[in-house]
Structure 1
Amino acid sequence: MPKPPLVAPAPPGTSLPYGMALTVTPTDERVELLCLSGVLDTLAADVFGQELEARVRRSRDSGRRLVLDLTGLRLVSAAALQVLDLATRNLTATPVLAVVGAPHIRELLLLSPPAGLRSFPTLAAALASLPTTDESPDGAAAGPLAREPQDALSGRTALRQEVFGLRAKNRTGPIIGVAQGILRERYDLPDLDAAFGLLRDASQHLNVPLRILASAVVTAPRPRADGPWFPGRRHTPMPAMTLLGVGESGHDDRRTVIESAVDDVMTFTTADAAEIHLTDAALDDALVLEGHAGLDAAYHDQVALLTGPPALAAQARAAGEPVFVPDIAADPVLGTSAMGRAALAAGSSAVYALPALTGDGSCMGVITVHRHRPGSWMNAAQRTALGALATDLAAWRFWYRRTVVLDALEHLHTQAQASDPR
């Protein structure tokens, strides 16, 4: 059965066509973030146009700059481009900032660019274009930010951190929204709030992150009408791990394991930064950033969700073996990509990615390490230790998905059956 499209709940009062998700996120007094994902076709264009016009008016009245995050869009119709043009054509002095991910959508905007829209490849680039000083209409600097440029710079940094965090939260919304819809239909629940309550209670009871549990609801086979969700399932003991420094009491705590793995990676490899991605079945096994250390928010925003090259982690996963770039700046592919530029801006010069594989070759995730200086730095013993840690991580992830996560699903199913009025 095909997977349902990932659709997040719409803002109150907004009726969106199936297949499109829209989230409005006011931040502080400077920016309002409007995130879209899915398909912005002719049917969705009218609804989007109404919402966009309302947000343009509000941003103009409040003094906020409107930022459109279009990185989640797969398709934009000609009608939607016309809507963008009509809604923003009077904003040439203070254009709407649009973050565009898909190359074919960028090309469409380049061919017929709306006059009041400025396109950027990354959210960091869009936010960096905002002025660090308040300016009067005649261009003269005014206000406390003009007198205190360092405070203005700090304010913009804080704004970027906040918007990056909000966008990270928005990435989890679609999966949770789909899981709510599945649970509501399956257990005849009165509304989506009741479905969210089931998810939240099971998440807290087994200490499984809400996104991980929602992903499992979306991808697990449908349970029978009565009885347990996974009849005859046997619990297996946690696998023996040689390097992953987690005690017996912490092996079922996802955050503890991943944080420990990041720390161990940094220690074993003497790296300046590290990141760990794990696969997510609800996202066609895309790589999701789960733990990191040593790099800034702009870089994390670039690598939060990886579906393929040029990201080095995606290359390592596809190859099934380590991939090493000794000098990002000199690499013709990574060095010219948005991810490579973000890594360089964060201080990384050399990067090494290693897939975490199970015994049968299944990839559970990827470990990536960085160094500030270009060139090779790990010796044979360090690479061996990193490989052993990747094996530990893969074994733990395989066990966690089939033990702790399934326990949480069973708990959710039992609670739902107990409250089912049928």
Structure 2
Amino acid sequence: MKASPLDGESLGQVTFLRVRGTLDASNADDFSHALASHLAHAEVTETHAVLDMTDMYLSSAAAVRALDQVTRGLAAAGRPLPTVQPRPHVREALRLAGLPGIRPHATVESALRGLRDAPDTGPVTAPADLPHPPAVGDLHAEVRGLRAKLRSSALIGVAQGILVERYGLPGAAVAFDLLSGASQHCNVPVRVLASAVVTTPPPGRAPAWSEHPPVPTAPFLRRADVSPVERRRVLDAAALEALAVTGARSVDLLCVQEAQDTLVLEARCNLGEAFADEFAEVSHVRAPCTVAHSTLRRVVVESVATDPVFAGPRMREVLLAEGTRSLYCAPLIGEAGTSVGVVSAHWPAAGRWLSGPQERALETLARDVATWHEWYRRSIVADALDHLHRRARPCTG
């Protein structure tokens, strides 16, 4: 990080902070302290600060978090840090993170104009004591969250384009507002709704969205006392039920994301961050879950260490590191005869561990989860599509 004075004309002196290189978990703490020191110096000398990220790369959520830690106080004071960062991946990362202490600009001139136009809210003090670095587990979870957002952004972008064309909307921002509004109104994740927009024919070429199947009454829903409309709780309850009926050490549950034909990790029990990172999204890779999904048949892996079902070493290594030595993967096959996901039970020893009754119990649970998934898609997601349609039509005028 290099600080240079800059003549801001009517602004007086401006401290121009140029950052070059890659910011990741290994140097995020040093970056935090350096930026805080420069901001404190700018405060003492009564100069403005502008952060130039033109030659900077963000390669982890720890980098974004470090930036947030130092600038959050500026947001509270109403004077976010002007930031010049034209690189597309940096703009996207900061947009997704929604940092309140950062005000992005495409050029230096734009940043200086923003300073001139900003009201004088008094002195801003940089934080005296930086927070302790986040725990490793928190960083892993944050990295996964950022990666998930980046993966979803492409799908959401496609859905925005479809909505703009379908309804003649003035732009992608209006389309996103409609998507997020319908998501909140019907309590459907934005990525799930976006996938439905991409895969569902427009009104007039598809069956009525209001034709809902009967509400599922699966035993695992009753035992967990979970409403079928609560997607997250239903999937968590299904994973816990799988753990109970199989006696396995750990369980994971993946659901299909139709628009991209991928399996997305939705729930896990007793599996760590490395597993969650590796299996967050599984697509076009030969693995037990993808084989079960594509063949509509259960897959039994008696030895994770030696079974040739894995296309590459990475998934095998992650499973072994988690203590998984054998697997049982059951596809979630609904009434339509297609797979909507996979539930997998893990054991810490090689062999074939499920008894006949346990096999039947897991496959019954798999059918129940698939039935719920189809109901949710044809009812709750359909309601969100209908809400989106009704809200979008007035925009065409």
Under a length normalisation based on structure 2, what TM-score does the superposition of the two structures give? 0.64
Equivalent residue runs for 1:374-413 within 5 Å:
374-413=350-389
Hey, what does 1:189 align to over in structure 2? Answer: 169
Please list the CA deviations of residues 93-127 of structure 1 after superposition, one character each: whole Å capped at 9, or x if unmatched: xxxxxxxxxxxxxxxxxxxxxxxxxxxxxxxxxxx
With over 3 angstroms needed to count, the CA separation of the structure-2 counterparts of 1:389 and 1:155, relative to structure 1, is closer
Please list the CA deviations of residues 286-317 of structure 1 after superposition, one character each: whole Å capped at 9, or x if unmatched: 21211112112222222222224432111112
| One of 159, 179, 183 as aligned partner of 1:179 | 159
Does residue 307 of structure 1 match 2:283?
A: yes
RMSD of aligned Cα (Å): 3.2
Gaps of 5+ in 1: 1-24, 32-53, 67-150
| One of 147, 165, 168 as aligned partner of 1:167 | 147
2:57 and 2:175 map into 1 onto residues whose CA distance is 34
With over 3 angstroms needed to count, the CA separation of the structure-2 counterparts of 1:359 and 1:230, relative to structure 1, is closer
| One of 240, 246, 257 as aligned partner of 1:263 | 240
With over 3 angstroms needed to count, the CA separation of the structure-2 counterparts of 1:272 and 1:265, relative to structure 1, is same
2:225 and 2:262 map into 1 onto residues whose CA distance is 29
Q: How far is 1:257 from its partner?
A: 1.0
Hey, what does 2:333 align to over in structure 1? Answer: 357
Give 1:420's aligned amino acid.
Answer: C
2:215 and 2:136 map into 1 onto residues whose CA distance is 46
With over 3 angstroms needed to count, the CA separation of the structure-2 counterparts of 1:246 and 1:205, relative to structure 1, is farther
Q: Which runs of 4+ in 1 moved over 6 A?
A: 246-249
Hey, what does 2:185 align to over in structure 1? Answer: 205
| One of 19, 27, 32 as aligned partner of 1:30 | 27
1:248 and 1:317 map into 2 onto residues whose CA distance is 29
2:333 and 2:203 map into 1 onto residues whose CA distance is 29
2:361 and 2:179 map into 1 onto residues whose CA distance is 38
With over 3 angstroms needed to count, the CA separation of the structure-2 counterparts of 1:296 and 1:235, relative to structure 1, is same
With over 3 angstroms needed to count, the CA separation of the structure-2 counterparts of 1:348 and 1:406, relative to structure 1, is same
Give 1:275's aligned amino acid.
Answer: D
SS in structure 2 at match of 1:186: helix
Of all paired residues, the percent bearing the same amino acid is 37
1:244 and 1:393 in contact (8 A); partners too:
no
Equivalent residue runs for 1:67-146 within 5 Å:
none
SS in structure 1 at match of 2:350: coil
Does residue 324 of structure 1 match 2:304?
A: no
1:217 and 1:391 map into 2 onto residues whose CA distance is 26
SS in structure 2 at match of 1:200: helix
Q: How far is 1:192 from its partner?
A: 2.0
Q: How far is 1:59 from its partner?
A: 5.1
Please list the CA deviations of residues 296-339 of structure 1 after superposition, one character each: whole Å capped at 9, or x if unmatched: 22222222222244321111122221111122112244395211
SS in structure 2 at match of 1:364: strand
Give 1:211's aligned amino acid.
Answer: R
SS in structure 2 at match of 1:328: coil
Please list the CA deviations of residues 368-387 of structure 1 after superposition, one character each: whole Å capped at 9, or x if unmatched: 11112222222211111101
Give 2:282's aligned amino acid.
Answer: L
Hey, what does 1:58 align to over in structure 2? Answer: 56
1:229 and 1:409 in contact (8 A); partners too:
no
Please list the CA deviations of residues 182-229 of structure 1 after superposition, one character each: whole Å capped at 9, or x if unmatched: 2223223333222111111111111111110010111111235xxx98
Give 1:314's aligned amino acid.
Answer: T
2:284 and 2:56 map into 1 onto residues whose CA distance is 38
Say which one has the larger Rg: 2
Hey, what does 2:259 align to over in structure 1? Answer: 282
1:352 and 1:369 in contact (8 A); partners too:
yes
| One of 216, 230, 235 as aligned partner of 1:253 | 230
Q: How far is 1:247 from its partner?
A: 7.0
Please list the CA deviations of residues 13-54 of structure 1 after superposition, one character each: whole Å capped at 9, or x if unmatched: xxxxxxxxxxxx9766736xxxxxxxxxxxxxxxxxxxxxx9
With over 3 angstroms needed to count, the CA separation of the structure-2 counterparts of 1:362 and 1:58, relative to structure 1, is closer
2:380 and 2:284 map into 1 onto residues whose CA distance is 29
Does residue 344 of structure 1 match 2:336?
A: no
Gaps of 5+ in 2: 1-21, 29-51, 65-131
Hey, what does 1:297 align to over in structure 2? Answer: 273
Q: How far is 1:246 from its partner?
A: 6.2
1:420 and 1:274 map into 2 onto residues whose CA distance is 45
Number of residue-to-residue matches in the alignment: 284
Does residue 239 of structure 1 match 2:216?
A: yes
